Structure 1
Amino acid sequence: MRAWGTGDSRAQGDVIALVLLLAITVVGASAIVAFGGDAITGIQQSATDGAAEQSMTQFDSKASLVAHGDSDAQSVRLTGSGGATRAVEADAGWMNVTIRNTTDDEVTAVLTNTTLGAVTYREGDTVVAYQGGGVWRRTDGGSTMVSPPEFHYRGTTLTLPLVTVSGDARLDDDARITRSNDSTAVYPDPNRSNRTNPLDEGKVVIVVHSEFYRAWGQFFAERTQGSVSVDDANETATIVLQTPTDLDPVRAALTSRAVGDEISLDGTGNSNVWIDSYNSSNGSYAATKSANGTVTTAGSIDIQGNGKILGSVRSGASVNVGTANGNITGTVEHTTGYNANPNAEPQPDSDRVSQIDGVAAGDDLSPFVRSRIEAIEADNDNANTSAITESGGEYSIDFGGDDTATLSGDDGTEYYLSDIDMSSGEELVIDTAGASEVEIVVGQDVSLVGTEIRIEGSGIVRFYVADDIALDGANVSVPDERSRQHWMYGTGNTDVDISDGSRFVGVLYVTGDDGNNDFTIKQSDVFGGVVAGEMDIQNGGTVHYDQALRIEQVVPVDADIPRITYLHVSITEIEVDD
């Protein structure tokens, strides 16, 4: 039998065990100190930053009392880390407010171009600041709003009591707030006849330059649903609000909002590019086709190859017919010039050619489209149909082992789909027999390859598409080419590509604030109308304008489109000292 060891060996083992135990204890204690110390430091930093935000929010509240005349002076302690820098940065950021016309985006009035200034708390990568009547925070992860600025949009009224900051460059823990001067009324201005309410034309454009520009942009987007964009290179956020106008019906086969861009028609060989018209109120295209295929653009028009417009053109820039086979059968209205091949029609000296003073860019519906996307994604009727399935938070058409799926419902039915990506041979039927209107949101792309969407009944179907629309050998049909029953809207992110023998009946209305919505068609037909940005009509691309659209509402009667009727802008400077 093997012995477990002598007394000496057991004693040595006890010593070794004790040493190992002490080593483990020391290492463990060191780890606890190291990691626990990091955790404690993180908690302390978070508490310090939170205290800084809270004191800056209190500063915001007291600054508002002073700025709006409810108090002559206020004091506040700017708490936080003792190692942080507190300062008045009088030259930090600016706000520009202009009124521009809708024809060429030209500035008609500069209401203010004002330096905002800021009261800042800086420690390491963290900045907490009061600016523009709000409190903002920036870290390596980006910028966020802590409390909202003085920017109030209600209904169609924008109130902007702008608060700017001046004072001592460096602050101690305590800050005293006083008003530098009385508020200055910028709009309306009783001394200027052209600065009155209500606003009757144009659009109001507000641009903010700030190190917190992304948070400003997020605030604009969440609180107004206006046309909002951010420019990372220039660190600006921009919001555009349009004055009320009646939404123009779709009055042309092609309508481009892209100032500076062009509509290009280029058919080569035996492949014509063809623009004409029909009237679905009186019958199908075959029964009512005519030569009223108007083309309207805020930019230019270039016709090459066998490009033919059976109708008139209206351009906010130039019109060029570069080949002998190019032809415009109606009138030509241009803003900056008309050129034509000697054998093309009409010639520049024709009485059908005239110069005009620009073309309005038209309406940007992207705020309305985004609002419908958000509303229907949050609350819809998906639970009432077996044709939509959910998997992992994604909603798609459920064909149930068949090639055909049907969506139907009562009046006001709303469906949400993450995307529409149908396989060859599949067909989606939208039955409107029991509904005057059905709305369908597509959260991403519409991609139809060798597939069909068929609308049945006499109701209207409206698609709201967040991203791109692509048809490749696909068919989107409405009986007798009644385009007014089908509207497919896009956002500022939407481009449209129709190719390879596709056929689309309806209205494609894809707009954004900058007009950068590309529309391309090749070897395919559209029956209805297209409103987009830059357009490229290639070989075999034809658009047949449905004249019935001239009297149709572009959006539902009760649509809520962000507008501005009343504008109130004032500027008050506060001074901040120790």
Structure 2
Amino acid sequence: MTDRRSPTVSIGDGERTAFASDARGVSNVVGYVLIFSLVTITIGTVFAVGITGLEDRQAAERVANVERAFDVFDDNVRDVQRYGDPSRSTEIRLSGGTISLTEPTAVELRNASGGLVGRSLDSRSLTYTSGDTTIAYENGAWFRGDGTGAVMRSEPRFVAADGRTTLPIVRLYPLGEETVEQEGTVQIVVERSSRPQLVETADASADDGPFDLWIESPYAEAWERYFVRTDGFSVNTDATDTANDTVVAHLNHSDTVFVADDAVNVRLLR
């Protein structure tokens, strides 16, 4: 009788091993996952670094725009001083920052015994703040601060030579709003309050001198560096205390000292 069972196929050990080790399908999946992960990580890294760099660039550009606006403001104040223009205006894009006329700072002329000569000249500061960045105008100079310190970007028009010192003090007075915080643009209008007035003529020959100029300011360290590098002034280290916002400059040309009070009104318009 014929055996009708299906023939048995024998598979040797070598053939079993070759079949079991054929992982081409698994290798394709693993390769795809690795490539996909690498592409995802690369795109994520580039995106994160690129966004951070872009944000830093935008923040730096915003601050640079404000600095340029303060340059214009400084020029406008000088034009009002020099030419007697009734008013000048400057536009500043706040971009989330704040512009304000902050608490008064004081400027005083004192004699050798520390007595006040004339009167104390108090003034507001025009200040822009955004995060740790501060840009401020006070007493004829403007400053840039970044949390840990500040530098003077525009110097006052102090002149000292040949035994004579002239100190034009620019004082700001607020009219209307004193603080504006928004995303848009603010117009800063400078208006002449009065013609510059000669507050005091100090004469060392009348036993008033020698003289020191006292400035109370949150930017005392920047004022100190200004007096160190400027001819006709030297820092009175015994009286200067920058930790408490006080800098004292000795007037080397103090035979005659002129202190001019130049007051201007400032409006912040939305």
Same fold (TM > 0.5): yes
Say whether 1:161 aligns with 2:175.
no
Where does 1:194-209 land on structure 2 (aligned, <5 Å)? 195-196=202-203, 202-209=209-216
2:230 matches 1:223: yes
The question of 1:173 aligning with 2:186 is answered yes
2:194 aligns to what SS in structure 1? coil
Alignment of 1:112-151 (within 5 A): 112-151=119-158
Equivalent residues of 1:73, 1:177 under 8 A apart: yes
- Tell me which of 238, 255, 268 is aligned to 2:248: 238
What is the alpha-carbon distance in structure 2 between the residues aligned to residue 140 and residue 74 of structure 1?
Answer: 31
- What residue number does 2:43 align with? 29
Cα 1:212–1:173 shift into 2, 3 Å: same
Instruction: Spell out, residue by residue over 1:228-283, the C-alpha distance to the aligned partner (whole angstroms, 9 max, x if none).
Output: 44413421111012xxxxxxxxxxxxxxxxxxxxxxxxxxxxxxxxxxxxxxxxxx
Percent identical pairs in the alignment equals 21
2:264 aligns to what? 574
Offset of residue 201 of structure 1: 6.0
- Quick check: 1:137–1:212 contact (8 Å CA) kept in 2? no
Query: How many positions carry a matched residue from both structures?
Result: 244
Q: Distance in 2 between the 1:140 and 1:4 partners?
A: 70
Deviation at 1:38, TM superposition (A): 1.6
Quick one: which amino acid aligns to residue 25 of structure 1? V
Larger RCO, structure (CA 8 Å, separation 6 or more): 2
- The answer to whether the 8 Å contact 2:85/2:192 transfers is no
Distance change (3 Å), C-alpha of 1:106 and 1:212: closer
**One-letter amino acid of the structure 2 residue matched with residue 83 of structure 1:** G
Asked if 2 retains the 8 angstrom alpha-carbon contact of 1:199 and 1:565, the reply is no
Rounded to whole Å, the distance in 1 between the matches of 2:19 and 2:164 is 94
Q: Residue 87 and residue 145 in structure 1: after superposition, are their counterparts in 2 closer, same or farther (change >3 A)? A: same
Alignment partner of 1:185 is 2:198: yes
Does the aligned pair in 2 maintain the 1:187–1:196 contact within 8 Å? no
Give ranges in structure 1 of 5+ residues lacking alignment.
189-194, 242-561
Shift of 1:70: 3.3
Q: Is the 8 A contact 1:99 1:111 kept in 2?
A: no
Deviations 1:94-143, CA, capped at 9 Å, x for gaps: 1111122xxxx352x52331112111111111110111111111112201
Within-5 A mapping of 1:538-553: none
Deviation at 1:181, TM superposition (A): 1.8
The CA RMSD measured in Å over matched residues stands at 2.5
For residue 78 of structure 1, give the secondary structure of its aligned residue in structure 2: strand
Of 70, 77, 93, the residue aligned with 2:91 is 77
- Residue in structure 2 matched with residue 59 of structure 1 by the alignment: 73
Provide the rounded CA distance (Å) in 2 between the counterparts of 1:199 and 1:32.
72
Partner of 2:99: 86
Corresponding position of 2:64: 50
Equivalent-residue separation in structure 2 for 1:177 and 1:18 (angstroms): 67
Deviation at 1:182, TM superposition (A): 2.2
Q: After the TM superposition, which residues 306-321 of structure 1 pair with which residues of structure 2 at under 5 Å, given as runs? A: none
Inter-CA distance 10–236: structure 2 relative to 1 (3 Å threshold): same
Alpha-carbon displacement from aligned partner over 1:210-233 (angstroms, at most 9, x marks no partner): 111111111111113513444134
Question: Who is 1:322 aligned against?
Answer: none
- Determine the structure 2 residue equivalent to 1:565: 255
- Report the CA distance shift for 1:62/1:4 in structure 2 as closer, same or farther (over 3 A): farther
Structure number with larger C-alpha Rg: 2
Residue 503 of structure 1 is matched in structure 2 by: none
The 3-state SS of whatever aligns with 1:115 is strand
Do the aligned residues in 2 keep the contact of 1:95 with 1:112 (CA within 8 Å)? no
Residue type of the alignment partner of 1:163: V
Instruction: Give the unaligned 5+ runs of structure 2.
Output: 1-16
Give the number of the structure whose residues are more often helix, by fraction.
Answer: 2
Match of 1:227, as an amino acid?
A: V
Partner of 1:432: none
Partners of 2:139 and 2:156 within 8 A in 1: yes
